[in-house]
Amino acid sequence: MDLTTETTPRPASSEEPLKLAVIVGSNREGRFAPVVTDWFVSRVRERADFTVDIVDLAQVELPTNLSYDPPPAVRAELAKVSPQLGAADAFVVLTPEYNHSYPASLKALVDWHFMEWQAKPIAFVSYGGVSGGLRAVEHLRQVFAELHAVTVRDTVSFSNAGDLFNEDGGLKDSAGPDGAAKKMLDQLGWWGRALRTARDAHPYEG
């Protein structure tokens, strides 16, 4: 559902860094998301091919009852996130797993937008118990396919995440996650550049 004003961005150089929106999908009290987010964003900021914008769903309140003519209060909440999504060349969705799926706050963000997702790549960082949040990721892949987005194959996932980080928010053993993050971001960068070039040359009309 696209309730925002569509804008026509200027074509970007193929060498220009991709604008990456990192979506923090949990707004739960006592959430573990900031720990995982801080680690992941620190990995992205080591690279020259991305700039980072964080979309934290704990800072926005989007209702689940959708409307084509939302009241001013809802429009004000959309104004906090819609421009960030629209400007992004690529996304990383950071999600926990709740009851074999992803949080309602994340579904609300997804459903309030449409054009913002189209013909853009999306990668996933997940965390949870034994499954590492991967069941939430599989559900999200189906949703984003419906929205004409492209999800990259590789993910970063943390099983029993609370046991993997120390009290300072650093990983006890970073080798595996660091490698997984690099591989995922390499894929995201390829798709991000390819799709940005394609959108500039031929606006997507799916």
Q: For the segment 64-117, what is each residue's pLDDT rounded down to a tens digit? A: 999 999 999 999 999 999 999 999 999 999 999 999 999 999 999 999 999 999
pLDDT above 90 as % of the chain: 91
**78, 54 in Cβ contact below 8 A?**
no
User: Measured in whole angstroms, how far is the alpha carbon of residue 52 from the centre of its chain?
Assistant: 11
User: How confident is the model over 159-180, as a mean pLDDT?
Assistant: 95
The confidence score (pLDDT) of residue 15 equals 82
- Topology given in CATH for the domain delimited by 18-201: Rossmann fold (3.40.50)
Q: Is the pLDDT of residue 4 over 50?
A: no
Across 7-17, average pLDDT: 67
Cα(122)–Cα(140) distance, rounded to whole angstroms?
Answer: 10
> Does residue 152 register a pLDDT over 60?
yes
Residues sharing a CB contact under 8 Å with residue 62, sequence separation 6 or more, in sequence order: 74, 77, 78, 81, 105, 108, 109, 112
Given this model, what pLDDT does residue 69 score?
Answer: 97
pTM of the model: 0.92
Alpha-carbon distance of 17 to 47, in angstroms, equals 9
- To the nearest 10 degrees (0 to 180), the angle between helices 175-201 and 33-44 is 70
Query: Which pLDDT score is estimated for 9?
Result: 53
